[in-house]
Structure 1
């Protein structure tokens, strides 16, 4: 039975992990007969967004690991405890937290800087040739992990695609229900809610991503 490491970035599309994407990912892993362990960085979020109004809450702080624990039902560990030798694959759901808390792409674009602890883990998986899946905006982090013109997608947003290319990736336009595979890097990406207009569309691409990642030997 394969075991998958899943890195979350908080709880909520605007400042953390996209909850539907995270749940679809975890469910798809189990439906494929695999198991998972969730991780997240133990640090404050970039900021806190009121998900009812879309406004930033001045002075509010939330911890990424604590918030991610909401999705993981408390079964989560600091990302520093994530070791490639303990897992068969790595998957990162999207949500703006991936571009705000796992790296600075949401603020810095082409000058994005990855969180050091998260980068170390993701690079360790890449160097160990473990298959990985990055969904939605999470390829903004994957660009810093892989570089080398590795093929990946965030859908078809021109500005975001240019940012990924500037970070060393090779963006490939992709419809919502499909995936992009870079066989050499053993990397799978899908647009998810970068393009999805409902949960069914998000599920179509994410389930393909999980199935493909787990099929890589």
Structure 2
């Protein structure tokens, strides 16, 4: 069993490997891995994190070789939804961190302990929990709210017969002074200036694999921005 600070381990490998780091391929890959924080907001689309989005993010990060740490705020949920009925469960109260631990399989830390020095990137999966438990907006709007002039996408700007039921969100993004960029569900938009990557995901009514592909494009671009 080995425990070490990554920079020290990389230095030791460089000194010890006769043929360079290539002879320690698996270890060197871990040393260069992007460190990504995934911030959850509960468990379930209507009162927490959208579970399919979170799973897709984690799959694509794993495939990209990233080191992942999950976080969630240790606060009460705004409310609890009975997902079988789509209605509030008035008598129930749940904790965002405890509910998020369902998705994280228990490996999760309070959001209060997240520091930028420990991570190269942070990803916020969607779901109404991002609106209800963080801010009054959907996940990409977080960037629009905190970064002046940010460029983000939530897909299309018209409902188009119900295909884009939350298209009105694009207007909210513009009202915040950000730029909305029209993208298809399989695409991601990269704001190179602010280093923000967004994708429509479940803003679109479509087959699940299209949403999965769009999240893959987002994760790929996030990892590219880290330079690792």
The answer as to 2:67 corresponding to 1:35 is yes
The answer as to 2:101 corresponding to 1:87 is no
Structure 1 runs (4+) greater than 4 angstroms displaced: none
Task: Please say if residues 144 and 151 of structure 2, whose CA atoms lie closer than 8 Å, have aligned partners that are also in contact.
Answer: no
Number of residue pairs the alignment of both structures matches: 185
Counterpart residue number, 1:175: 184
The answer as to 2:215 corresponding to 1:212 is no
TM-score for the superposition, normalised by structure 1: 0.82
Shifted more, 196-205 versus 58-67: the winner is 196-205
* CA drift at 1:196: 4.5
* CA drift at 1:158: 3.9
CA 56–203 in structure 1, closer or farther in 2 if over 3 Å, else same: same
Secondary structure in 2 matching 1:90: strand
Unaligned runs of 5+ in 1: 106-136
TM-score for the superposition, normalised by structure 2: 0.78
Secondary structure in 1 matching 2:41: coil
Task: Please say if residues 176 and 196 of structure 1, whose CA atoms lie closer than 8 Å, have aligned partners that are also in contact.
Answer: no
Question: How far, CA to CA, are the matches of 1:95 and 1:77 in structure 2?
Answer: 20
The answer as to 2:53 corresponding to 1:21 is yes
Unaligned runs of 5+ in 2: 1-32, 157-165
Task: Please say if residues 167 and 203 of structure 2, whose CA atoms lie closer than 8 Å, have aligned partners that are also in contact.
Answer: no
Q: Deviations over 1:157-199 (max 9, x none)?
A: 4421111111221111111000111100011000001114232
The answer as to 2:35 corresponding to 1:12 is no
For 1:1-217, what aligned pairs fall within 5 Å after superposition? 1-105=33-137, 137-147=138-148, 149-156=149-156, 157-216=166-225, 217=227
Counterpart residue number, 2:30: none
Compute the RMSD of aligned alpha carbons: 1.1
Shifted more, 26-35 versus 155-164: the winner is 155-164
Larger radius of gyration: 2
Secondary structure in 2 matching 1:143: helix
Q: Deviations over 1:48-99 (max 9, x none)?
A: 1111110111132111111000000010001111111111111111011111
Secondary structure in 2 matching 1:101: helix
Secondary structure in 1 matching 2:190: strand
Question: How far, CA to CA, are the matches of 1:7 and 1:89 in structure 2?
Answer: 11
